[in-house]
A and B are shown apart, each in its own frame.
Chain A
Amino acid sequence: MYIFWIIPVFLILYIIRIIIGPSVWDRLLGMNLVATKVVIIIIAFASLYELTYLLDFAIVYEIFGFISTIFISLFLMERKKGGKK
């Protein structure tokens, strides 16, 4: 289907943004967006070959991407504060 060559183009543009991104949080944002695009590719693949169980992978991948974003941003917050506590 046509999704399979449009979405990778967006992925490459996001990856360029991750590389250029001036701050760490740009990279974190880019990682979150790339995770969503990968979920879209998994869904397109599942819909093409009628494989229902692939959708469970997409759900789990989305949740893990979200959890990783949370903990990375929490880690960055503590690191930037320099642990003044």
Chain B
Amino acid sequence: MQIAGNIIIIIGIIFMFFGVIGIYKFKNFYSRILISGQIDTVGALTVIIGIAVKHGISFFSLKLLLLAGIILLLNPLATHITARSARLSGYLAQEQEPPPHDKKDGV
């Protein structure tokens, strides 16, 4: 039980590591928020489930699952609101350099 929990936590940390890479790799704000919002939620959920597995069936893991549900519900909503606020305020993606494949067409 303990080892399984540890393995799940390590997988969650690997997801978070990809989230951090995602933030620095993408130059465009909208692609960055898409990637980091999703991966961060998944990483957090995996770590929480891993800790819940480490504690087996108890009030602790029940409360952890409640927190996992709340994170699952709120995080995507927060990311959506941020992106929507950026979009409605006219923060156009063209301000950054366009994605590499466009350069070939001379756009």
Contacts and interface: CB of A to CB of B under 8 A. Distances in A.
Contacts of B82: 25, 28-29, 32, 69, 73
24 contacts: A10-B20, A14-B20, A17-B23, A25-B29, A25-B33, A25-B82, A25-B91, A28-B85, A30-B23, A33-B23, A36-B71, A40-B44, A43-B47, A44-B47, A47-B54, A52-B59, A52-B60, A59-B70, A63-B70, A63-B74, A66-B78, A69-B81, A74-B81, A80-B89
B86 A23 contact: yes
B23 A59 contact: no
B78 to A, nearest CB: 4
- Counting chain B residues whose Cβ lies within 8 A of the other chain, the interface size class is 35 or more
Q: Is the interface of B mostly helix, strand, loop or mixed?
A: helix
A62 B59 contact: no
A33 to B, nearest CB: 5
A76 B89 CA distance: 8
A59 B67 contact: yes
B71 A55 contact: no
A50 B55 CA distance: 9
B71 A39 contact: yes
A30 B33 CA distance: 9
A14 B23 CA distance: 8
Contacts of B44: 36, 39-40
A6 B47 CA distance: 12
A29 B79 contact: yes
Interface in A31-80: 32-33, 36-37, 39-40, 43-44, 46-47, 50, 52, 55-56, 58-59, 62-63, 65-66, 69-70, 73-74, 76-77, 80
